[in-house]
Amino acid sequence: MLKRRSLIASSLALAMAMGAGPAMADDVTIPLVSKGFQHEFWQAVRAGAEQAGAEFGVGIEFVGPDDESQVDRQIDMLSAALANEPPAIGFAALDTQAAIPLLREAQDKGIHIVAFDSGVDSDIPVTTATTDNVAAAALAADRMAELLGGSGTVAVVAHDQVSATGVDRRDGFVNRLAEQYPDIEVVTIQYGGGDHLTSTEITRAILTANPDLGGIFGTNEGSAIGVVNGVREAGREGLVIIGYDSGAAQQDAIREGLMAGAITQNPVGIGFETVRAALAAMNGEDLPEIIDTGFFWYDADNIDDEEIQAVLYN
């Protein structure tokens, strides 16, 4: 709890610097429609949103489908939230296109949409509270290249190819390798839907097809856990595994030496800033197009540093 309170305090300081502290009407509830509940990341986002709700005196309703493949279920949840005509909604899109008709409906009703984690192909959201996923994945590519000595073959196990986070993390990683490390070849990109069991099977298949593979990048919590499990089950040693997010299983894998390192986001900050931005929009305040909530590289050398401990997910 100490590290989460530390992160919440940091997020609150950021919010105050951005002009937070809006006066709110009584009995306001802001729904947040997330991508899911299955990962510790989303529980941390929820904690940040609820902390903001308590700080600013508004209710928070945090919902999401059972897993990140259920685009239709998420659309149903967004539709249900719209039916209650709240003053604002936070939305983390599983698909950058699928929700646009409902977002237009929200705009017509004067409902402010704040995107979080993953944006949409539209200018309807008043802002997006998110990690710079392209830059973060590029950092993961730099670390991969460093650990491989500048040459070799790698694979990517991504969570999807329809959300902004899936696309940006994939492209940020692959493009940095192509631009800066011509002696490193990406031999395959596979999609596991963010499910650790599916990603495990994908990883085993990749290892079978590429016996000399040097490294694998998993683009979210479920993908990275699946990669670790697949490599463990295959009995492969010496493979460089880099992940994204920082649930307990990834932290354990880093401490055990199975994973070289990973990118951690600031999920409590994402949740906090989503609510703060919704309230600011309701008050007519101008907001930046992107609220960058930050990211960090962590590995066995710095995992216990105070700064890193404050942004790990459990």
Q: Is residue 314 part of a domain?
A: no
State pLDDT tens for residues 4-43.
Answer: 334 444 444 444 444 444 445 458 999 999 998 878 899 9
| CB distance 156 to 186 below 8 Å | yes
Q: Is residue 206 part of a domain?
A: yes
Mean pLDDT of 69-94: 96
Q: Is residue 309 part of a domain?
A: no
Mean pLDDT of 120-128: 95
> What global pTM score does this model have?
0.85
State pLDDT tens for residues 176-232.
Answer: 999 999 999 999 999 999 999 999 999 999 999 999 999 999 999 999 999 999 999
Expressed as residue numbers, the domain containing 258 is: 133-264
Q: How many domains does the chain have?
A: 2
Q: Is residue 12 part of a domain?
A: yes
Instruction: Tell me: do 10 and 118 sit in the same domain.
Output: yes
| CB distance 56 to 275 below 8 Å | yes
Q: Is residue 9 part of a domain?
A: yes
Per-residue confidence (pLDDT) for residue 155, from 0 to 100: 98
Instruction: Tell me: do 142 and 111 sit in the same domain.
Output: no
Residue 274 to residue 91: CA distance in whole angstroms: 9
Instruction: Tell me: do 38 and 110 sit in the same domain.
Output: yes
Identify each DSSP E strand in the chain by its residue range: 29-33, 59-63, 88-91, 112-116, 127-130, 152-158, 184-191, 215-218, 240-244, 261-264, 290-292, 296-299
pLDDT > 90 fraction of the chain, expressed in percent and rounded: 86
pLDDT > 70 fraction of the chain, expressed in percent and rounded: 91
Instruction: Tell me: do 124 and 235 sit in the same domain.
Output: no
Instruction: Tell me: do 96 and 242 sit in the same domain.
Output: no
Q: Is residue 220 part of a domain?
A: yes
State the CATH number of the domain containing residue 220: 3.40.50.2300
Exposed/middle/buried for residue 37 (C-beta within 10 Å: 0-12, 13-18, 19+): middle
Residue 127 to residue 112: CA distance in whole angstroms: 10
Instruction: Tell me: do 119 and 147 sit in the same domain.
Output: no
Instruction: Tell me: do 179 and 237 sit in the same domain.
Output: yes
Identify the residue with better confidence: 3 or 273.
273
Q: How confident is the model at residue 69 (pLDDT cuts 50, 70, 90)?
A: confident
User: From the centroid of its chain, how far is CA 235?
Assistant: 29
Instruction: Tell me: do 165 and 246 sit in the same domain.
Output: yes
Q: Is residue 285 part of a domain?
A: yes
| CB distance 119 to 125 below 8 Å | yes
- The pair of three-digit structure tokens given for residue 214, joined into one six-digit string: 């040097």
Per-residue confidence (pLDDT) for residue 17, from 0 to 100: 42
Instruction: Tell me: do 14 and 102 sit in the same domain.
Output: yes
Per-residue confidence (pLDDT) for residue 296, from 0 to 100: 96
Identify the residue with better confidence: 162 or 3.
162
State pLDDT tens for residues 231-278.
Answer: 999 999 999 999 999 989 999 999 999 999 999 999 999 999 999 999
pLDDT above 60: residue 134: yes
Instruction: Tell me: do 225 and 208 sit in the same domain.
Output: yes
pLDDT above 80: residue 118: yes
Instruction: Tell me: do 148 and 258 sit in the same domain.
Output: yes
Residue 122 to residue 105: CA distance in whole angstroms: 13
Instruction: Tell me: do 124 and 271 sit in the same domain.
Output: yes
Residue 29 to residue 87: CA distance in whole angstroms: 8
